[in-house]
Structure 1
């Protein structure tokens, strides 16, 4: 009896030990794979103080802040200025598929100008394989915009679509280079559309534009309602707070879907708050800067019924997922040519990626573990994918071109990350289009900037640990 009792007791202890290390209140600990590392930035399994952990994984917000703000963000800030990542192809003419776009332009200059056709490289105008890559966007003769010409906010959302002659020549070389690899590319509609235009992201940074009100509310409501895992009793397009309260009752995939969108929403909001436009009054000049009152309105617990800090935590969650996708894609990304025609710039870009960014990513031990999702459930995987595609289509309903560009880019970045994570082929056996690589790095850089701003600008105004 004593031997049996001791054996039984030992089994119980072993079970409790294992359970205490893999169990979590929201089932997300199984999605993190924590490995011990000798590097300075790791998730500490042995630390007894368990406050400040991200989604019950053994990884602290401070860990992410440390590696991002000191290591990754300084590299990404330089990388996105390189020619390969600076220009993003996008179709701004796609019609909204979900409702009649009856929203009125909030800004005076809603009609934007693109480069005239005769000023573009010949291959961009009449490319046999790519159809007509860039088509002249005629200046609108009518406008629904406000007629108040004295409105100082009138040009905040205006898109700068000018390209220098030097940049046009480099893009011409890119098209020729990509043509040689055309049979290896995935079929992405935007990149073969006659209405695709190249936008210089450095001239059109994500910041406050004045685009707000019912139009933006309708966009985000539609996006959140694309979570196909919401409880059947709350699928109607109303009461998103009720749906958020039911998140804990959803399956693992449903909670992940919500946290990804919520984290992206938080990141976009932080960009708007950190780059806010303040019109000059009483002789003062107009200026840009952080708006702490707007940040508090969006995230303060008292003004968000305690949900604001949770939304900010989801920013760290989507950051970890895109970080994991980049880590998984490193063998593939190391083989990309990053061709722009400028040998010096191309080599510098490769060096920043291979010898700096990728090395820092490899050192970070905590990663999202996608293998626990969609186990033997093809229907679930299909629904997840199709509803996410709908979100990318919803972005065509955004009424501000500058907002649309960054919305589509960051949705494509997340979609590319999911494509990498859930790809069943070996990492060398699939292809990413140039726009997917551009969006992946720029999208991650946007998340990186948001986390940097949370720590350096908005930390005194909210506690998320």
Structure 2
């Protein structure tokens, strides 16, 4: 393989791409050979996830993300980095995020988190609708006085509840709505010391590892030798389940983001017209076993593990959304009903998956030790959500915050099983609840994972076709 690569480098400029593509088919073979079978720490095989995602989940989750309720996300991209001096923002054009004009945000969404619209409404009925929606959040306002009082209790409970993420204050003047469909996650050119510092802080300061291990966790860190991959996974297997899970979640998120960038890469720009597409060379650089000293396929397996975790969370939270008082409220009755129908359909699919991750195996030791470990787990992840405010590229920060919050919401769901089971059928509860921002982040984060696995299959086909 190395001699073939050398020949490719020495090839004439006109034949470079052709030679490179000829090599790609053979490069996929070792990746494919290692990316198969049962995942560690669960009883699920990769092939079953591929089929389930391709034929059941991916088409539906794509449609759901296009719905108004899920396409508008309120985020504060101006929060200062809490850990180090600002490295400076990315000035590349593709790093920019275009906020959504207030007039474009559906009335029900807007009224649920702000008073601004109701003050400016001209139509009396619109004013009344906005005021009612504002009192109840982004939830259908046709509720009894008893239910409204319960929502007040909900708010008090939520304010005191422990979260896995540092949540943005939606009332901040710096918080703006972003249309996720108009600001897709893709390669922006953001890289270098600033990006490295973010991931290095995530891996080295927040992931668990024995103090005796000096090998860097950050895959972007310079390699120290040929045995790095073997020694790394040797000590990882020596950690307890919870700490292994934590690392795999972070690695899976990193892999997913990298796959999005490889699949939506700026290939060329002619007369100001960009052409985005799959960059197979970049994919090889990040995941080829030889290029990554055997770690590429292991990283890709962490993507599947993360997918299982969030899939499990969706199956667990289904009873919450099946309650009659939980609506995906935008103000458009027909759209809202169709969105909830599609969401419940996806939940039915998630519950039908036969090989879910068993979260009950986590934090199952003695009560005191388990509680302490769970709190440490939560605080480490919450810290990572705060690091997202240190990302210098606005578009990268947007999607980093959203996907981190989505995973944090999934963890919140997994460890709130009793609260979800105890929800009453026809009235709000003082217990478990999700804000609209958490719901939007949860669905879009899982949608990103579903897309990543689908793109992995696309890269597989691209490489196979070059053989």
TM bucket by the smaller chain?
A: 0.7 to 0.9
**1:13-52 equivalences in 2 (<5 Å):** 52=37
**1:77-88 equivalences in 2 (<5 Å):** 77-88=62-73
Q: Distance in 2 between matches of 1:238 and 1:288?
A: 31
Aligned residues: 364
* Alpha-carbon contact 2:236-2:244 (below 8 Å) kept: yes
**TM-superposed deviation, 1:80:** 0.5
Question: Given the superposition, is the C-alpha separation of residues 380 and 311 from structure 1 closer, same or farther in structure 2, using an over 3 Å criterion?
Answer: same
2:328 aligned to which of 318, 329, 338 = 338
Unaligned runs of 5+ in 2: 1-34, 114-129, 137-150, 160-166, 222-227, 424-430
Question: Partner of 1:385 in structure 2?
Answer: 378
TM-score by length of 1: 0.73
* Alpha-carbon contact 1:320-1:368 (below 8 Å) kept: yes
Q: Distance in 2 between matches of 1:296 and 1:284?
A: 28
Question: Given the superposition, is the C-alpha separation of residues 238 and 84 from structure 1 closer, same or farther in structure 2, using an over 3 Å criterion?
Answer: closer
* Alpha-carbon contact 2:86-2:390 (below 8 Å) kept: yes
**TM-superposed deviation, 1:55:** 1.9
TM-score by length of 2: 0.73
**TM-superposed deviation, 1:219:** 0.8
Q: Distance in 1 between matches of 2:96 and 2:348?
A: 38
Q: Which shifted more, 170-179 or 209-218?
A: 170-179
* Alpha-carbon contact 1:69-1:452 (below 8 Å) kept: yes
Instruction: Kindly report the root-mean-square deviation, in angstroms, between the aligned alpha carbons of the 2 structures.
Output: 2.4
Q: Distance in 1 between matches of 2:247 and 2:296?
A: 15
Question: Given the superposition, is the C-alpha separation of residues 432 and 226 from structure 1 closer, same or farther in structure 2, using an over 3 Å criterion?
Answer: farther
**TM-superposed deviation, 1:85:** 0.5
User: Does residue 215 of the first structure (1) align with residue 194 of the second (2)?
Assistant: yes
Q: Distance in 2 between matches of 1:215 and 1:285?
A: 28
Question: Partner of 1:136 in structure 2?
Answer: none
Question: Partner of 2:438 in structure 1?
Answer: 436
Q: Distance in 2 between matches of 1:183 and 1:461?
A: 55
SS at match of 1:190: coil
Q: Which shifted more, 372-381 or 318-327?
A: 372-381
Unaligned runs of 5+ in 1: 1-49, 108-154
* Alpha-carbon contact 1:226-1:391 (below 8 Å) kept: no
* Alpha-carbon contact 2:315-2:347 (below 8 Å) kept: yes
Would you tell me which structure has more helix in proportion to its own residues? 2
SS at match of 2:75: strand
**1:224-263 equivalences in 2 (<5 Å):** 224-234=203-213, 245-263=234-252
**1:282-431 equivalences in 2 (<5 Å):** 286-335=274-323, 336-354=326-344, 356-375=345-364, 376=367, 377-423=370-416, 425-427=418-420, 428=423, 429-431=431-433
User: Does residue 53 of the first structure (1) align with residue 38 of the second (2)?
Assistant: yes
* Alpha-carbon contact 1:173-1:340 (below 8 Å) kept: no
**TM-superposed deviation, 1:184:** 1.5
Q: Distance in 2 between matches of 1:250 and 1:89?
A: 37
**TM-superposed deviation, 1:339:** 0.5
**TM-superposed deviation, 1:332:** 0.4
User: Does residue 165 of the first structure (1) align with residue 154 of the second (2)?
Assistant: no
Q: Distance in 2 between matches of 1:410 and 1:422?
A: 19
CA deviation digits over 1:213-242, x for unaligned, max 9? 121111111111244531012479787666
SS at match of 2:170: helix
**TM-superposed deviation, 1:409:** 0.5
* Alpha-carbon contact 2:39-2:301 (below 8 Å) kept: yes
Show structure 1 runs of 4+ deviating over 4 A.
235-245, 459-462
SS at match of 1:77: helix
SS at match of 1:88: strand
Q: Distance in 1 between matches of 2:291 and 2:91?
A: 26
